[in-house]
Structure 1
């Protein structure tokens, strides 16, 4: 089977609440511009190319798209691109979005939303995506403060039918327990990749024990974060990649999926060739020796 014919179904499936999705999804952060995400001087991506990548993702079986209202550049908005490319949406498509942070029209980051502002953010996502409800909304936070008031506001919107399922992003374990006392949590979206700490691994395992999807971000980018993948992969990653005849980025994705059946991947790209490679990574089966060698790479900050 060539990479051109491999679809997202090769990665297996997981259920977010009552929604079944393939474990290889698509992150929309890089759709709007070239270079580092959120950089003020970044060049907007060609609109037709971005729309083409989204449509190709669906053709390749991707049925999980991760987005946010704050994914925009000077000329492009990820949610509007998704709407333009994919509406009317496939019945099995799950669109996950994030609320909490915000950016003004100039791109400047705003303080985290109050409970009252969260409703406006949800409504903005609904409007730009052209939906009457959101499949999954993650509350993204920074810091260790209580999230009860903010998560409670989203739980009320869920009860009102504007949100189907709730998740959390960039959290600590105590946040998960706090949220679960208010409403069900179907997913946790945290930074995770090769080199993750033992504490990060323990949290990933905790989510699995509770049947909660764990959705890593920066699993390819690693230390590059919003700037994208670096070229400095260590020899161990390159060795495994050579043995399988694939790229280091594909090995990073495959390793991520090997962390547990509840782990989902949302690699983002605006490049159609990279999209095909990312989806194909879902079919890679690493040996126990491969996984063990990569597990030992704790010195890298993922």
Structure 2
């Protein structure tokens, strides 16, 4: 049974859904862009307090977001009574000064060290959900040499950490459908892969997750993260729907994801309160069958 009321007593943003054995808001918050507020920590904390006020109780982060900055702000901003479920990830480390700001950290001992770093920076005894960021699919980093590690070896250390109580549940990110199937016996609670209205290569994996009661948490839900990546907001059908509904194209792109499958959880990120409020408001948009048909027809 789920309830639309968050622990903070406000309506859950986008409604409620399951994340493993927890109930969370279907619209969460991705902390990656908090690094843009590095020079104004008070503004970052204020933004996260607004997250709670808007009924968001599902926050996605990583130690490598701002080399610990995002985790530190999360630690200082949230209170136990807020009931915010923290989801973090391992599989990469900061690479300060490098041409690429991250480097792979796929080996089991690196995963364990990253979990410890997350616990310390977040000030937690247990991280509710920890995603293993595989490097099987793009965009972004790919594993080479000793960073090419089998998923079974990685899951062995992740399940050991879960047994120790340092993490509550295991998720996967950047995984193939074969990798997910291999990992299912470990009790996977969520999958984070590239997916949006215009990037639907993983539709079969989304459906597998739905069948297995695994949350589907798309990253880059509006596309456009890289210069060569198209944007959802550039699709004519999205623009037409937005105009008809009196909403922004970005809101329509997010609303489509929520309507597309009941196991979808969103983690749009921003460093601006106004954008945060717009993202949360996407959860109130009703898309009728005709609009959904028009959006479904957009080439994915």
- Normalised by the size of structure 2, how large is the TM-score? 0.86
Q: CA deviation at 1:169?
A: 0.3
Tell me the CA shift for residue 69 of structure 1: 0.6
| Conserved 8 A contact 1:8-1:280 | no
Runs of 4+ in 1 over 4 A off after TM superposition: 225-232
Of 122, 129, 140 in structure 1, the residue corresponding to residue 133 of structure 2 is 140
What residue is the counterpart of 1:51 in the other structure? 45
Task: Point out where structure 2 has 5 or more consecutive residues left out of the alignment.
Answer: 1-9, 138-148
- Is residue 8–residue 279 contact of structure 1 (8 Å, CA) maintained in 2? no
CA distance in 2, matches of 1:226, 1:273: 25
- Report the CA distance between 1:110 and its aligned residue: 2.1
Residue 27 (structure 2) pairs with residue 21 (structure 1): no
User: Which residue does 1:104 correspond to in 2?
Assistant: 95
CA distance in 1, matches of 2:280, 2:42: 21
For residues 24-39 of structure 1, the aligned pairs below 5 Å read 24-33=27-36
The Cα of 1:102 is off from its aligned counterpart by: 1.1
Number of aligned pairs? Answer: 278
Cα distance in 2 for residues equivalent to 1:290 and 1:61: 27
Match of 1:208 in 2: 210
Select which of 115, 121, 125 maps to 1:122: 115
After TM superposition, list the pairs within 5 Å mapping 1:144-163 onto structure 2: 146-163=150-167
Distance 1:90 1:177 in 2: 37
Task: Please give the TM-score of this superposition, normalised by the length of structure 1.
Answer: 0.86
TM-superposition CA deviations, 1:227-259 (whole Å, max 9, x none)? 999596122111100111111110011001111
Query: In structure 1, the residue corresponding to 2:202 is in which secondary structure?
Result: helix
Cα distance in 2 between the residues matched to 1:226 and 1:123: 35
